[in-house]
Structure 1
Amino acid sequence: MLRSCCVFILLCFSLPLGASERYCPDRPLLVGLFYYGHIYREDRTGIDHDLLQLLQNRTGCNLTAEVMPRARTWYNLEQGLLDMTSTGILTEERAKHSWFIPYMQLKNYLIVPASLPREQRDAAGFIADTNLYFGAVRGFKHGEPLDKILTVLAETQRVLYYPDAPTLFYALKRGRIQAMFSQPPIYRYFLADELDQGLYQLLDWAPELTGTAHHLVLQRQTFSASQAEAWQQLIQQLMQQGELSKIYHAYLAREEACQLELAAGPKAALCAKGQ
């Protein structure tokens, strides 16, 4: 199995016996993570890392995180080999094996080199030029209508798939692909200097969308319906208390941090008060 050797306990502490029964079975739970910019960084920090620490504190569940390719995450969840993951997009097929609890929204923007001719920067122009290639991480969903565009390009073998975000951005910088979709917490991590220098352009191929909900994902064989409901109530509580907003603001500038929480629930303190 292709996966990183990075395995660790998120946080160790003691709680009264039975305190976690509302949320999880009495055993360690394996959480699949993947390197994804400020969402989860290679130094074991990031939005999802902090979120899982917070959730472990509140639930008393014993969460062990393992880094693995995103496609492997979804396969393992389907096979019952993994208990949880984060930053998941809900699909009809995935809902058959897991519960989905939204906690943030992310909007995908198109990234292209500044040198790409203007006539090739919209979807029709890009599709029409058969010399242009698109890059994507295998196993990722981007939301409609963006995935439909990738389907069209894939029919002519013009989508190159990569195992993770670092290799995808490397392919962009090396000129192996001419376009890709990405979100603010990710491209701000991988392309901060290049964007400031004007080497790449951000375009919006779905201006009608404010973003796509991303979820905490709980495997149905591990978590009962009542436990999944308890997790959902907890996430809503953390939104209303502003705890999730604090995490987003720790990694992103205010405007982009506030965008993450708008579709996930009530505006939390740091955004609602205009701070």
Structure 2
Amino acid sequence: MTLVGEWAPLSDARYELGEGARASDGGFVFVDLLAGALIADDGSMLHNLDVPLGAVAPRTDGGWIAAAGNGIAFLDRSGGEIEWVADLLVDALVPMRMNDGVADPHGRFWAGAMPYGDHPGTGFLVRVDVDGSIRRVLDGLTIPNGPAFSADGSVMYLAESSAGLITRYDVADNGHLLAPTVFAEVGDASPDGMTVDADGYLWSALWGGHRLHRYAPDGGLEEIVPVPAAQPTSIALASGRILVTTATTGLDAPGPWDGATLVASTTVAGVPTAMFGG
């Protein structure tokens, strides 16, 4: 069975580091991470920050929560106001930035921080609770990506891109992470952005792999979906479409669709995008 139709670029735009694909308001949003831009799938610029923008999640009271620059920020819907909530890297011993982030079905926001350059183990994962409190929940990471959650929020998947690993965690009602197990290993590429579909299967973009993986809940690799770009970075599913961001950064000779945001039809349904705040 063919799960994904023919790929096409969303537009002529090419991004150095497209990331953070999310279903939103019947369409999609994504980021040009290093440029600090939040972009809608019609090409409109929703926000343009002066720091890197890793990813956003919608807020129940409007606007977005963002993993950006050195920490967490609130962005309004109009594209103007930015409210910085926390600087998480003020005590960092090496140059770092925020990376991927997502809301879970209980209204919490989870975001990773990663180093610039070769500094293994200096990255970490934080959780922003509904009351605004922030907890550092995992240390010793290098390039955390995702996370992605099951539809009921009881399972979290986190990619450690530098190690080619995806780890599965049980999530307690209070957000504590329990029982980590290796969910999947990739030897020839790096698992990057992820999403869980309506059937409970995990999709992972494979940086350097020209493909997506779709895993069953037990970790079995069920589908390999080729992508006409070397560095797929994130995935979103909605309304019979799949959107995949890609990147040109680090490529000596980018191909015609490297850096493009790609879209195709799909027979797989997504789940509603979780919102921060409940």
Which of the five TM-score ranges fits, normalised by the shorter chain?
under 0.3
TM-score by length of 2: 0.27
Q: More helix by proportion, 1 or 2?
A: 1
Which of structures 1 and 2 has the larger relative contact order (alpha carbons within 8 angstroms, sep 6+)?
A: 1
